[in-house]
Chain A
Amino acid sequence: MNISLQNSTAEFLNSGSSISESLTSTLEDYINSSESTPDWLKTLKLNSIKSLSDFSIPSRKMEHWKYNDISSVISNPLGLKKDSELAKQPSTVDLNKLNLPLMSSVLCVFIDGEYSEGLSNLRQQEGFEVTTFKDASETQIEEIKSSLVSAAQQKNLFIQINDSVSMNGLYLKIDANKKSVMPIYLIYLSTNDDSQLTNNQVVINCNQNSQSCIVEHFINLNNETEDSSQLACQQTILELGENSHCDHYRISTGSKNINKISRLLVKLAKDSNLSSFHFSEGAVLDKTDIDVWHQGSNSESKMTGIYLPSEKNQIDFHTCVEHQVPHCNSRETFRGIIADSSSATFNGKIHIFKDAQKSDAQLSNKNLLLTNQAQINTKPELEIYADDVVCAHGATIAKIDEKAVYYLKSRGISETQAKKMLSVGFINELLDEINQTELHKYLTDKVQSSLSNLK
């Protein structure tokens, strides 16, 4: 049975209106009718549904949605599969055929939001725990609850709906002092070919003094329809305990006929260290909210991002780095190459709290426009309430340097190849920050093939 959101989604057209009673009660019925969801999770979900009334329907008048065309999401009814149907998903996917990197690492695979035990492989590694929310132990339940509740946000209705209806999720815990060498590879596969809303939540707890590598990879396998109204929603909450180090990647590849709206929240405790790498090839809409909260002093975050939209794709990154406490350090570098008539939005906010003295925050966003139709909306935002801080931000938009094209051509290199070399050159140094060799190769190849259609 599909539960249609149509009545409510139709209202998305009416800008700024609030969430209807009918949507709320539809979702409540959906939760209550689930047979396999444990009571604690139902309670959490029903509470989350209540918060929906704090949200308005997205409209272009809102800063968060200003540059997004979500018409393909709202012009069709979205179906929600019952959890009993989700559990029955056929796992016809052959991971080996996808040419993925890191296949010998710990694999956690999701199909349309649902964890697939069959495709996953925990490699009998020690030093971490993996459980679905449904199967969580008492202690784990408390940890999951506290993570989810403290992750509340007010910006994105779809993330809230995801929080309200995702019946299941995965909890991953890296034990204290664990210096894990093997990366943990989370693969989110989208296989739907109809108008479905898929949901997923992942909570990752890196306990104190641990070292980990977490790779999140979204892959859309559905090649059938040209313009899909499919919407994949996802949220990852990554908590870094004291003095923990996490090398994190979040990448999107595969066919582009999907809408994806997702959020990453990272909370950093004292002395912890995050390196987070983002990559997107684009989709009908690929919108990512990234919140990084420095909650413990001396924590450091480094974020790097590459986005390569083409055709009519849209990519949107809304990042917000909060320095909530003194003596933290954040570095953010995003670069985009915008091709054809695609568009990209980068909104990077740095928020320094009143007592967060000695904060050091830097943000840089550079964009290369390949055509006259390509669009970029870039906006760094600073909110600084402390006085003793170092804060630098900058955004640039450039076109291919014709002088450089000529120089390369004068050495026998064709115009197309010249443009490709210059484009790759624009993001090369960011790719080089990928520590995982296989992943570096995989993404370098992706960049090459993404740019191979240059005119």
Chain B
Amino acid sequence: MLSIDNLQANVEDKNILKGLSLEIKPGEIHAIMGPNGSGKSTLGYVLSGREGYEVTGGTATLNGDNLFDLEADERAKKGLFLAFQYPVEIPGVSNMEFLKASVDTVREYQGKDALDTVSFMKLAREKCNAVNLDPHFLKRGVNEGFSGGEKKRNEIMQMMLLEPSLCILDETDSGLDIDALQVVADGVNACRDPNRSFIIVTHYQRLLDYIVPDKVHVLSDGKIIKSGGKELARELEKKGYSWIEKA
């Protein structure tokens, strides 16, 4: 599914990712944990193709395609999805218009049938309900004035509509209340599929009680310094990161 080899990347000429390698097989869930500023969000941005995030070495392929040859929108069409740590507010563009444009292009690219407006609205409302977001959020500007938790649920709703093959969730659990956390976890679990993989960036073991990962990695100073099973998250929760960083 996803294969990252010795990835190095700069932001504003500052080296952030310093040789990161990661292999994810179809259907797997990988959790990435690590201290603030270690490069977790940077990894998501680099993989999804944000401008200003310069790859200086290494490779990344998604289902065989070299990601760095593709524009951000092409990567999305090929099934990469990033749920943002800080979703962007876009006043004036309605959530519905945005979702329709997005789903239309992605489906067209993937050779799926186009959805007419009525069936799309039906589907969008369904997904809203699935993440416990009132359907009238569809009429509002994209993320405009949404609370932190509403923004995160809006991200998960987009993920459900786009049916991507690789989902990167960047701290989707931060700022969620306990019920919303359950809703988001249920959403992710409902999306689990032998052909869909997840990278879940989180600071908290709690989310991983609901979404059980196949692997847990520790990212520190731009590199993966330790990998393990789900029990590693529990250990980190107890001991912090310093014991690994020192080792």
Contacts and interface: CB of A to CB of B under 8 A. Distances in A.
Contact of B105 (A403, A406, A414, A429): A414
Interface stretch (B12-20, B92-100, B175-183): B92-100
A344 B90 CA distance: 25
Interface stretch (B34-42, B45-53, B220-228): B45-53
A411 B98 contact: yes
A407 B90 CA distance: 9
B91 interface: yes
Contact of B91 (A408, A412, A415, A425): A425
B65 interface: no
B154 to A, nearest CB: 11
Contact of A406 (B51, B101, B106, B109): B51
B28 to A, nearest CB: 22
Nearest to A418: B73
A126 to B, nearest CB: 41
A421 B91 CA distance: 11
Contacts of A422: 90, 92-93
Contacts of A415: 71, 73
Contacts of A426: 92
B93 A409 contact: no
Contact of B73 (A403, A409, A421): A409
A93 interface: no
Contact of B93 (A402, A412, A414, A425): A425
B97 A406 contact: no
A428 interface: yes
Contacts of A427: 92
Interface in B83-114: 84, 87-88, 90-93, 97-98, 101-102, 105-106, 109
Interface of A is mostly: helix
Given A422-B90, A425-B91, A425-B92, A409 B97 contact: no
Interface in A396-417: 401-404, 406-415, 417
B2 interface: no
B106 A412 contact: yes
A408 B48 contact: no
A219 interface: no
A413 B90 contact: no
Contacts of A428: 92-93
Nearest to B161: A411
A242 B26 CA distance: 74
B82 interface: yes
Contact of A412 (B51, B73, B97): B73
A429 B75 CA distance: 32
A424 interface: yes
Given A402-B51, A406-B51, A406-B72, A411 B91 contact: no
Contacts of B51: 402, 406
Contacts of A410: 48-50, 72-73, 75-76, 81-82, 84
Interface of A: 401-404, 406-415, 417-418, 421-422, 424-429
Given A411-B162, A429-B92, 8 more contacts: A408-B90, A410-B76, A410-B81, A411-B73, A411-B106, A414-B105, A417-B101, A422-B90
13 contacts: A403-B88, A407-B84, A407-B90, A408-B90, A408-B101, A408-B102, A410-B50, A413-B101, A415-B71, A424-B92, A424-B93, A425-B91, A428-B92
